[in-house]
Amino acid sequence: MHSTLDIEDFISIEEIKETKRRVYESISEKTEFVDHWGVWKGKHVTTQHWVEKDQLSFVFSIIQEKLQGLLNLPFEIEKGQILQSYLAYDLHTDYFVKVNHLAKELEGIPYYTLVIPIADFNSYTVVFQQSADYNDFYLYKENNAELDNYISDSDWLNYCSHCWPEDQKYLTLDKACSWKQGKLIGFDRRQFHCSDNFTDKLECKEAFVLWLRKK
């Protein structure tokens, strides 16, 4: 697995404003993600503002330039968006990028998922040590045994109270990354992750999200 990144002050407030302006001038699609079969079944979870494919390098150039000296391998931006999250994401990987529940054809080798909060939010992205070359956690449970040593009850309740209780015994915590304005949160696209259950604290949280592939 590629190392999880948790770097404060990665981009400035002015750089956030400029990137946000570019995103909204280059949107190719807006999708409303409604949970069909997960923990929020039937509820609206997120709104996603997707950047036109041929505009990705320009729109996210500020971020891309800063990544050049940070990441070990050459990369390309596969997809990018502004995410507005209203309910907490359940466990999944980003091996395939999904748009409106549909997995896009895999292009190249998945590398990193990057999350850059647009403001300070009382929330976390929770990354686990477990991984897979598919997105859905139910498949992982079908192919793996429960662990003897798994994420503690206190961490599970603190971060994952919205997740299915039986999932706890399959997971060990890698890192819980707080959402601070301009911070870079990055993790291997093969790793399982979720949001913390921020729904009692926030109406919405907002971030740039980028999916990288190896060049």
Give residue 151's pLDDT: 98
| pLDDT tens digit sequence for 176-208 | 999 999 999 999 999 999 999 999 899 999 999
48-59: pLDDT as tens digits = 999 999 999 999
Complete DSSP assignment for the chain:
-PPPEEETTSS-HHHHHHHHHHHHTSEEEEEEEE-SSSTTTTSEEEEEEEEPGGGHHHHTHHHHHHHHTT-SS-EEEEEEEEEEESS---SB--SS-EETTEEPPP-SEEEEEEEEESS-EEEEEEEEEEE-SSSBHHHHHHHSPPPSS-S-HHHHHHH-TTS-GGGGGG--EEEEEEE-TT-EEEEETTEEEEE--GGGT-S-EEEEEEEEEE-
Residue 146, pLDDT > 80, answer yes
Average pLDDT over every residue of 89-109: 87
- pLDDT band at residue 99 using 50, 70 and 90 as cut-offs: confident
CATH class of the region 5-214: mainly beta
Mean pLDDT of 19-31: 96
Sorted by where each begins, the domain ranges of the chain are 5-214
Residue 100 has pLDDT above 80, yes or no: no
How confident is the model at residue 213, as a pLDDT?
A: 96
